[in-house]
Amino acid sequence: MADADAERKAKAARAKALLAQLEEVRGKVVSTQEEKVELVAAVESWETKSKGWEKSRAELENQLEEGKRAGTRIATLESDVARLKKVEAQHETLEKEHRGLQAELEQSQKALQAHEQTIADLQAKAPAELDSAKTNGHATAGTDVESAVRAAHDLALSQREEKIRSLETELHASSSRVHALQRQLSDLQLAYAQSQAQSQSHSHLPPSISRPSSASHAKSYFLSPAEDDGLPNRPSPLRDNRSVDAALPASVRHKRQVSLSALKARMGIDAKSAPKRSPGLGNGFSSLQVLTEEVGARNRGDKQFGDEIMFCCPACEGDLITL
């Protein structure tokens, strides 16, 4: 009986101990559950923050890429601005050269017109001087007086011819200078058009003033219609003055060669048609009359070509070549 009581007491003590342990474990389980809830909330909070950080990181990366692209655009704009300044400087230089060449061209044209006017005046004065010499020859009697008049008249004619030749030489030099200036003007206008085309290729920059028709107009000023149509130039038999002709366009060189042919033909015809002077004085004023006829024939030859030495150049679209 005593053993049974002792055993019951021992069981009751163990049960109390187990209950105490159970209560202790239950408290720990509750605290553990609370800690678990707190940890889950903390994990969710960190996940939310992580998503925000990822979004911020993506935005920062996008901003960084935009900054790089903006830097590239700025560098491109700086290079374009530098190129534009260079083109503007070239444009100003070409404008100055163009104005200078235009002034020289105008001066050369004025000098050319003055030379042509002087030659026309001298040619107009020659018949009057011839008539005056003829009248003086008829009014003068005697061989000595006639010889003196003829010598003076020959000297005057020689001086006039020399002056005309010198003026023609100056006229040719002025014409060559005008052609050279026009050729330089054409080259400058072509370079100007190319520089304007380069500056206008940048659409984001303000375009400069362009002259699209300047180069084509300057080119058409020199080239004959045959060259514009793409027809080949026919070779000319004349090969004189190669150093001068080498710098000229093909059409101008061809016209000069045809003009030289016309001049040689004209000189040959003048030499054949000029009357020969008689060795003696003959009867009265025969020598002076022969001289008068010779000068008159020369003046008539200067006014217009004969039908036998007119040239129609096939490479120049039927233009009549005159001197």
Name residues whose C-beta falls within 8 Å of residue 299's C-beta, 6 or more positions apart in sequence.
123, 126, 127, 130
Model pLDDT for residues 158-172, shown as the tens digit of each residue:
887 787 887 878 888
Determine the longest span between alpha carbons in the chain, in angstroms.
Answer: 207
What CA–CA distance (Å, rounded) separates 322 from 220? 21
**Average pLDDT of the chain, as a whole number:** 70
What CA–CA distance (Å, rounded) separates 68 from 60? 12
The DSSP-derived string for 47-65 is HHHHHHHHHHHHHHHHHHH
Instruction: Pick the range with the lowest mean pLDDT from 48-57, 118-127, 185-194, 238-247.
Output: 238-247
Model pLDDT for residues 35-83, shown as the tens digit of each residue:
888 999 989 989 888 888 988 889 999 999 998 998 898 988 888 888 8
What CA–CA distance (Å, rounded) separates 227 from 233? 8
pTM given for the model: 0.28
What integer pLDDT is reported at residue 60 of this predicted model? Answer: 92
Residue 194 has pLDDT above 70, yes or no: yes
Name residues whose C-beta falls within 8 Å of residue 83's C-beta, 6 or more positions apart in sequence.
202
**Cβ atoms of residues 98 and 189 within 8 Å:** yes
How many alpha carbons fall within 13 Å on the CB side of residue 216?
4
What integer pLDDT is reported at residue 284 of this predicted model? Answer: 40
State percent of the chain over pLDDT 90.
2
Q: What is the mean pLDDT of residues 268-284?
A: 49
Residue 253 has pLDDT above 80, yes or no: no
